[in-house]
Amino acid sequence: MELVRNVFFVGFMGAGKSTVARKVARSCGVASLDMDKYIERSCGRTIPEIFDEGGEETFRRIETDTLRELCGKDGGMLISCGGGIVKSEENRQLLRDGGVVVHLMVDADEAAARISDKSSRPLFNDIESARSLCAERRPLYEEVADFTVFTGDKDLRDISREVRRYLSQEGVICQQQG
């Protein structure tokens, strides 16, 4: 199969973006990329280390530069983004212009249950602040989303199938030419 455009997965921490991107990629034989992992590799530091050393501001600058770089590459990829990618208008514009955006909608309580290692998420503190951050971000995810999946208690395999069906219907994933 071939991916004709980039597909960006957005949603709150713990929504399952990386796993779903990977599963869809495997089932279609296309490439996927986890933006946070890509940032960690290119900076030689973990996300918590980047936050510790330069604060959120530094991380956001790197995140925007990375998004711009990925948008400029030819060929489609399934890209899972960090949960805060939608914070800036600049990023939202890059996402809208850069491909198809899939929002995996999750609520903070479900997300908390899914995240096993909260120490790897500097912005996931207590459940109260996660709930308000999640509520604050939801309209931003929706603003950029072409397709929203309500993840609820669905398993990640079903979510991946739903995404794959949508991408096929829209002609974003198609049979390779030639």
Question: Does 173 engage in binding with ligand S3P (CB under 6 A)?
Answer: no
Using the rule CB under 6 A, which residue among 3, 13, 25, 105 binds ligand S3P? 13
Using the rule CB under 6 A, which residue among 16, 76, 82, 99 binds ligand S3P? 82
Nearest distance, CB of residue 166 and ligand S3P, angstroms: 21
In this structure, what token pair is assigned to residue 61? 């600058």
By C-alpha distance, which of 166, 17, 163 is closest to 79?
17
| Residues in 101-120 that interact with ligand S3P by CB under 6 A | none
Question: Does 16 engage in binding with ligand S3P (CB under 6 A)?
Answer: no
By C-alpha distance, which of 140, 176, 136, 160 is closest to 78?
160
x/- mask, ligand S3P, residues 120-139, rule CB under 6 A, reads -xxx----------------
Q: Report in angstroms the alpha-carbon separations of 83 from 36, 59, 75, 177.
A: 10, 12, 24, 35
Q: What is the CB neighbour count within 10 angstroms for residue 37?
A: 13
Nearest distance, CB of residue 67 and ligand S3P, angstroms: 11
Nearest distance, CB of residue 100 and ligand S3P, angstroms: 19
Size of the site for ligand S3P (CB under 6 A): 9
Give the integer Cα–Cα distance in Å for 72 and 107: 32
**What are the φ and ψ backbone dihedral angles of 37, each rounded to 5 degrees?**
-65, -40
By C-alpha distance, which of 50, 29, 53 is closest to 41?
50
Judged by beta carbon, residue 93 or residue 120, the one nearer ligand S3P is: 120
Nearest distance, CB of residue 80 and ligand S3P, angstroms: 7
Of 1-9, 25-33, 82-90, 154-162, the segment contacting ligand S3P by CB under 6 A is 82-90
Which residues touch 20 (CB under 8 Å, ≥6 apart)?
9, 80, 104, 156, 159, 160, 163
Nearest distance, CB of residue 83 and ligand S3P, angstroms: 3
State the residues that interact with ligand S3P by CB under 6 A. Answer: 13, 36, 47, 82-84, 121-123
